[in-house]
Amino acid sequence: MKKELTLSNGNIVPTLAYGTWLIKNSDASKCVKNAIEAGYRHIDTAQAYRNEVGVGKGIKESGISRQDIYVTTKVEAEYKSYLEAKKSIDESLKKLDLDYVDLILIHCPQPWDEYGSPNRYFKENIEVWKALEEAYLQGKVKAIGVSNFLKEDLENIINHCQIKPMVNQVLCHIGHTPLELIKYCKEHEIIFESYSPMGHAKILDNKEINLMAEKYHVSVAQLCIKYTLQLDTISIPKAQSLSHIIENTKLDFEISKSDMDKLISLDFKINYLE
């Protein structure tokens, strides 16, 4: 397992990231400070999380030099024009109170209320991408990428834009491993990031995964995080309690190849909205 990966532009990104989805803005600064103190050096947020102010405050109050913290945020999925995206990037910098962010992503190829629909918003995503390219060339962001993009969405950007995505952040966990998309990203030097490695907590009670965790004398959460890291992806677990934040960094074990193969073969149908 690598603790860092290299983007196509040469920038280094830590493979274990602290996710802040569903963390209230009022709680974010404390959680981020705790995560940094526990050893995290990659913090993931988004405009849609409504906690960028708290995240930025936590980074500032951590006492760690800015250049030693990798910060990711994301443009609202509903923003599908160049002007909206351009404005939102500046707003994120202001809310985070940072001179630059290390990585900014298009949060989704579609607005959330159309997620999974046939309309892929190809033309609109090209316009949003142009705003990201501009911010990158201006030094406002150190890297640019996408989230929830399928192969056809990535091809649209690669074939029509100046700079190809450096990252694709996608739902990936035991029981839901998009191997073909991971392979495609690797072939095109796009780093794959796995969000919700615990499957929105829907897989924590799975008997087979629990037995595997017991075998390695680790928690199910630790096994899930390690799994995504051993896929050579960036893992983005979320936790709010200090004990879980710390536990999720204790990954000093290795899942055997045969056990990785077993976990990769698992396929769960999960209703994440329940």
Average pLDDT estimate for 185-200? 96
Structural domain contains residue 272? no
Q: What is the pTM of this model?
A: 0.96
Structural domain contains residue 271? no
Structural domain contains residue 153? yes
pLDDT for position 273: 52
Inter-residue contact 144 to 133 (CB < 8 Å)? yes
pLDDT for position 269: 75
Nearest to 60 by CA among 38, 88, 87, 32: 32
Handedness of CA 221, 222, 224, 229 (dihedral sign): positive
| Residues with active-site annotation | 49
Structural domains in the chain (count): 1
Structural domain contains residue 204? yes
Residue span of the structural domain in which 230 resides: 4-265
Structural domain contains residue 46? yes
Structural domain contains residue 274? no
CA distance 52 to 46: 7
SS3 string, 8-64, reads CCCCEEECECEECCCCCHHHHHHHHHHHHHHCCCEEECCHHHCCHHHHHHHHHHCCC
Beta strands 12-14; 4-6: pairing state: antiparallel
Inter-axis angle of helices 122-137 and 82-96, nearest 10: 50
Report pLDDT digits (tens) over 198-227: 998 888 889 999 999 999 999 999 999 999
Report pLDDT digits (tens) over 142-155: 999 999 999 999 99
φ and ψ of 197, to 5 deg: -65, -15
Nearest to 132 by CA among 194, 95, 85, 182: 85
Find the CATH number of the domain harbouring 64. 3.20.20.100
Structural domain contains residue 270? no
pLDDT at 10 over 90: yes
pLDDT for position 270: 72
pLDDT for position 271: 64
Report pLDDT digits (tens) over 54-69: 999 999 999 999 999 9
Nearest to 97 by CA among 134, 60, 145: 60
Structural domain contains residue 137? yes
Average pLDDT estimate for 25-33? 98
pLDDT for position 202: 83
Q: Which residues pair with 71 in a beta bridge?
A: 43
Question: Which range has the worst mean pLDDT, 156-160, 179-183, 202-206, 263-267?
Answer: 202-206
pLDDT for position 201: 85
CA distance 97 to 83: 21
pLDDT for position 176: 95
Q: What is the mean pLDDT of the chain?
A: 96
pLDDT for position 200: 84
Ranges of beta strands (E only) in 167-264 are 167-171, 191-195, 234-236
Report pLDDT digits (tens) over 70-108: 999 999 999 999 999 999 999 999 999 999 999 999 999
